[in-house]
Every structure is written in C-alpha cells, then in structure tokens.
Amino acid sequence: MKILITGGSGKLGTAVVADLVAHGHDVVNADVVAPPTAQCPYLEVDLRDFGEVFEAISGVDLGRPSDAVVHLAATPAPGRRSNARTFQNNIVGTYNVFEACRRARVHNVVYASTEIIFGLPFATPPAYLPVDEEAPARPESAYGLSKLLSEEMAKQFCRWEPELKCFGLRFSNVQSPEDYANFAGFQERPEERHWNLWGYIDARDGAKAVRLALESPLKGAEVFTIANAETTQSMGNSELVGRCFPEVRLPDGLGENETLLSIDKARRVLGYEPDHHWWSEPG
C-alpha cells in the first residue's frame, strides 16, 4: 500500500515507519519536524494547515495518491504545552486529516488514541478491572478530551462515508528498546506505576498493531486497546491492586501478571498478539 503517516518522526512513528517499510509498503512521513534518521521520504507538513494536509494525502504534487493513512501526529501527553494549545493542535490536526481523507477518497485510516481515556491517572479508581473498550470514558485532561473527541469524529466521518474504515488504537505508555533500562526501578517502586494500571506498549508491538489494523478488511469506526500482554511488574496483580485500588475486585481466572488493560478485542478482531516482553528485553 501507499501509506501516508503523520508523526512518523516521533517515538511511535519511527517504529511504525520501520515496520511498514520492512513489510514492503511504500511510506511517506508527513511531520512538522524531520526524522532523526530517514527511513522513507519525508514531507514537512503542519497538520493545522488543511491545504498542506490535503496536498500530502491526495498526493497532488507527489503524484502519489494514498491508499491508506496512519495518523499519529499530536501533542502526545498532557503538560507539554498549554492545555489550549494541546487541544487545538490535536483536534484541528485530526479534523484536517479525516476531512482530507474524505475528500481524497482514502477509506483506510488508522489513528492514535490513548489509554488516558480510561481515566488516567486514576485518582478515581477504575469501575472494574481489567478495563476494556466498554468502560466509561473518563478523560481527566485537555489532552484526553482531544483524543476522546477524535474518536467521536471518527464515528461521525464513518457515518458520512460508509466505505470508510477509521480505527483508533488506544495505545498504552510507549516504550522503545532503550526504555527497558527503567524497568528495574519500576520493580522497586510499584505504586508509582499505578497511574496507568502498570501498562505499557513496546513501540514495535504498537507498530505491529497499526499494520494489522491497516490490513483489516472491516469498515466503520472501532477502537482497540493496544498494550503488551503483561504488566510492567513482577509483583502480582492481587498485591498491586490490593495496595492501590482495594475497592476493585479482580475477576477469577485473571493471570497474576496479565495486563489490566484488556487487549482481548484487538486479539479477537485484529489477530493482534504482542511479541515482546519486558522481562526478556536487555535492560
């Protein structure tokens, strides 16, 4: 496929570009900053400018209309910029990408959503565990709100365009291989990771999930939680949850180190299965 990726210069984007190129796709990276290392052609695009986005996605000048779009570019967390600027960047950027896809008749769109929608940092305990896509949305920041509203935009664009697939991947906390050096410290202070239910996503597994979502023949707006299969901790779930969320009961049959961010839907619908485990990574 000819794939236009936004945010291909970033942490997750670098892994996604590498994976898509390795699987034979023809990828162009549209980002406001150049990548540290070029893995594919790069186009400087500011997503807040609709003309720039439309030109990139439709391939007007490149002579290369896109078959699919992966939309990762965003201000990727709360607290990096003012709330208003985060909200504006993410909402306007996402609208421009979805609208450019609609006008250019690109019907295969995968975009980054986030675990934050589940209610991170869980000052209010989760309603149940493991959390899944049916859990009530509870964004606690302008960043989380921008992502929840992006999911709503995806639903409405799919209502307008029945041929459209617009899949949102609710990524957990992204870890590049060099980040595994931090995991020893996580074991010493397990309470410090309660804010995202001890979840993580290896960037390479996140990239695999993007590829599987692109390859899915389904249509419509769906969201999928994308995390690794186990928590960041060697301490078991009974003790972690007992310490940090004593009011929440764990279901029978849940593995002691099994992720508390359920990936069952991604497994079932996309055939997603993570390949990496923090405990077997050099750290």
Q: Which residues bind ligand NAD (CB under 6 A)?
A: 7, 9-13, 31-33, 45-48, 72-74, 76, 89, 93, 112, 114-115, 171, 173-174
Q: Which is nearer to ligand NAD, 48 or 204 (CB)?
A: 48
Q: Which is nearer to ligand NAD, 2 or 11 (CB)?
A: 11
| Cα-based distances in Å from 271 to 130, 147, 208 | 19, 24, 10
Minimum gap (Å) between residue 126 Cβ and ligand NAD: 17
Minimum gap (Å) between residue 74 Cβ and ligand NAD: 3
- Residue 238 neighbours by CB distance under 10 Å: 11
- Please indicate whether residue 143 is annotated as part of the active site: yes
Q: Which is nearer to ligand NAD, 36 or 251 (CB)?
A: 36
Minimum gap (Å) between residue 15 Cβ and ligand NAD: 8
The answer to whether 142 touches 116, Cβ cutoff 8 Å, is no
Minimum gap (Å) between residue 246 Cβ and ligand NAD: 27
Angle at 278 between CA 277 and CA 282, to 5 degrees: 110
- Residue 197 neighbours by CB distance under 10 Å: 27
Listed as own residue / partner, the contacts of 186-190 with beta carbons closer than 8 Å and 24 or more positions apart are: 186/232, 186/233, 187/233, 187/234, 187/235, 190/233, 190/235, 190/240, 190/243
Q: Pick the closest to residue 282 from 186, 182, 204 (CA basis).
A: 182
Contacts of 20 (CB under 8 A, 6+ apart): 3, 5, 27, 70, 207, 210, 211
Contacts of 7 (CB under 8 A, 6+ apart): 13, 31, 71, 72, 73, 74, 112
List 111, 143, 200, 272, catalytic entry: 143
Q: Which residue is nearest to ligand NAD (CB)?
A: 10
d(C-alpha 114, C-alpha 14), whole Å: 18
Please give the structure tokens belonging to residue 215.
């390859």
Helices 11-22 and 203-215, interaxial angle, to 10°? 50
Minimum gap (Å) between residue 276 Cβ and ligand NAD: 15
The answer to whether 90 touches 75, Cβ cutoff 8 Å, is yes
Minimum gap (Å) between residue 182 Cβ and ligand NAD: 13
Q: Which is nearer to ligand NAD, 31 or 222 (CB)?
A: 31
Q: Which is nearer to ligand NAD, 80 or 243 (CB)?
A: 80
Please give the structure tokens belonging to residue 152.
């709503």
Q: Which is nearer to ligand NAD, 173 or 250 (CB)?
A: 173
The catalytic site residues sit at: 143
